[in-house]
Amino acid sequence: MSTQRLFGAGALRMCRIMRAILTILIAPLLACALATTAVAQTAKPPAKPAPAAAPGGPKSIGSFDDWQAATYVEGGQTVCYAFVKARQSAPAIQGRGEAVLTVTHRPGLRDSVAFTAGFDYATGAEAEVAIDAAKIAFYTAKRSAFARDGHAVVVALGKAQKVSITSPHPQKTKVVDNFSPKGFGKAYEAIGKACPPK
């Protein structure tokens, strides 16, 4: 039996009208839902804003062959420093930090020379800095070694062909770090201009 005979022509028309209304109402909702899903699947999360530079944080003056020069603010005063990282270290020590040689100018204190070993020194240990044929003892404190006469080290670095630092390691006989002197003169000149003597 046909729908028309069962419910009559009016009912059939009503069914068609209802179907049309449902199509009109549901189609946009379905399209919107599909579009939202597509956007959610393809949209990238918004990029995080770059962190703002810390006030007084390090600012590069420049790269000079193997040496870098930079400044930072300490207690309202500009500090200038030149540094170089070890190009070769032996033996390899697991978990060791970077070995870095640094020359620093502070207000009232110039030519401060320090070596960051990347491990803790034993109390009272000394590191030996070899600049060509000259050997200079550095005293140590925690993870660093310091020159007693920084100016003498700076003069030697200005003429150096080879630089190495031998450090006593608590669990090794000794650790040797080799540094490049290439570019030291220009880096030193740059920090002298950025922090002129007063």
* 170 pLDDT higher than 60: yes
Q: Catalogue the long-range contacts made by 148-154 (C-beta closer than 8 Å, 24 or more residues apart).
A: 150/103, 150/110, 150/111, 150/112, 150/113, 151/110, 151/111, 153/103, 153/111, 153/113, 153/129, 154/103, 154/111, 154/113, 154/188
Number of domains in the chain: 2
**Same structural domain, 32 and 113:** no
Q: What is the mean pLDDT of the chain?
A: 80
Per-residue pLDDT reduced to its tens digit, 142-165 = 999 999 999 999 999 999 999 999
Rounded Cα–Cα distance for residues 30 and 75 (Å): 63
**Same structural domain, 68 and 164:** yes
C-beta of residue 100 within 8 angstroms of C-beta of residue 120: no
Residues 6+ apart with CB under 8 A from 159: 132
**Same structural domain, 94 and 184:** yes
| Domain with 142 in it | 59-194
**Same structural domain, 88 and 2:** no
Rounded Cα–Cα distance for residues 104 and 118 (Å): 19
- pLDDT of 54 reads 54
Better-predicted residue by pLDDT, 111 or 34 = 111
- Residue 31 included in any domain: yes
Q: Quick count: other Cβ atoms within 10 Å of Cβ 195?
A: 20
Backbone angles phi, psi at 3, to 5 degrees: -60, -35
* 12 pLDDT higher than 80: no
* 5 pLDDT higher than 70: no
Amino acid (1-letter code) at residue 88: Q
Residue 91: which pLDDT band, with cuts at 50, 70 and 90?
A: very high
State the distance between the two ends of the chain, measured CA to CA, in whole angstroms.
110
- Residue 3 included in any domain: yes
Per-residue pLDDT reduced to its tens digit, 133-147 = 999 999 999 999 999
Rounded Cα–Cα distance for residues 186 and 103 (Å): 13
